[in-house]
Amino acid sequence: MSTEMYNVYHIFCDPAKAAWQNSFLPKFWNGMKVRASWGQTGTFPSPFVKDSTFATGPFLGASAAGFGNPGNSEIKPEKTTGLDVGFDAAFLNERIGVEFTWFKETTKDALFSVPSQPVSGLAFQFRNIGEIQNDGVEVAVNASILSKPNWNVSLRASVATLDNKVTKLGGAPPFSIGGFGFLPQRVEEGKPVGVFRTIHPTDDPATTARENETRFVYNPLPKRTGSVALNATLFRNLNLSMLGDWQSGGYSLNTGSVLRVFDAMKPEIDRIPTGYTFSTASSVFIEKSDFFKLREIVARYQFRNVKYVRDLALTASLRNVYTFTGVDTFDPELHGVRGGAAEAGGISFFTLSPPRQFRFGVEVNY
């Protein structure tokens, strides 16, 4: 360290360090580490999407040539730039730890499969369209609730937020990346990727007439996610642990309900207002995908001073314990749709939830 740098450190840092040590803060605030990172990553287009191809098919009893992959000689990888800033802090003799992170990611030249103009005779073409932005915070707390020779209880809880938005389309018109004709998932400037375009029946108080209103309000991506984990040691030999996680702020299309309407099944058919169909009242099939899942409970008992063996333990676990949710016809976690290189949730397809599992085990070390 040069003389000038040492003098600056001595003038500014030494008094601050002394003031810290002589204050009341170290008694409950044990320390803090500040961190930051910046980086870039990319996603390459799928192989051969640059190449134009032809396809053949039957026409009037003969073979006819048509367009296959339209190709795009100008396509290039999308690039994501990320910035994270945060800190780790410890309190109360390190019995409580706090982790905080703020992040922002910007994806430029985002890859999407975009519909071509109808007059071109082409279908969909992979193109670099606009810009996508993700930002949010992640907070985690670790707490040692009880710490004794034969008793120990610790808890970890976390929460993360996500704000996803298409900030630019580069002059391209909005387009769909999935969903159905009556309820497409869209790429719209200023909206989340895959936002639902829904039709809402509305009443006109002046005429008592019913009209349709198009809205882009249902985000397939959850705005908040989190988890909680509990670990306890009781009577020295018994260890219990539990794990759960949750999400909120997202929506999903109940595809099963749509198909049951086709079969005129009650009470599904009653969900549609009188005079409307599923195509003119598509919003009735959008449901919240909020849930809390108790993933696993594990109990392990350690036997000590057992004759003829060094260690003996019994383990019992229960996985996929229970799901707390307002949805009773599909699993709100198991859904998804892919549009280009962008991933968005929002479509349920009769996916079965993982089965509840009971496991038992014996551990013996001689």
User: Is the predicted pLDDT of residue 338 greater than 70, yes or no?
Assistant: no
Higher pLDDT, 85 or 271: 85
User: Is the predicted pLDDT of residue 134 greater than 90, yes or no?
Assistant: yes
pLDDT confidence of 243, banded at 50, 70, 90? very high
Mean pLDDT, rounded, for 313-321: 95
Residue type, 9: Y
Q: Are 132 and 164 in contact (CB under 8 A)?
A: yes
User: Is the predicted pLDDT of residue 32 greater than 80, yes or no?
Assistant: yes
Q: Are 134 and 110 in contact (CB under 8 A)?
A: no
Mean pLDDT, rounded, for 29-33: 86
pLDDT confidence of 340, banded at 50, 70, 90? very low
pLDDT of residue 189: 92
Higher pLDDT, 57 or 23: 57
Ordered strands of the 175-180 beta sheet:
175-180, 183-187, 195-203, 210-218
Higher pLDDT, 145 or 265: 145
Round to whole Å and give the CA distance between 255 and 252: 9
pTM of the model: 0.81
User: Is the predicted pLDDT of residue 24 greater than 70, yes or no?
Assistant: no
Three-state SS for 289-333 is CCEEEEEEEEEEEEECCCCCCCEEEEEEEEEEEEEECCCCCCCCC
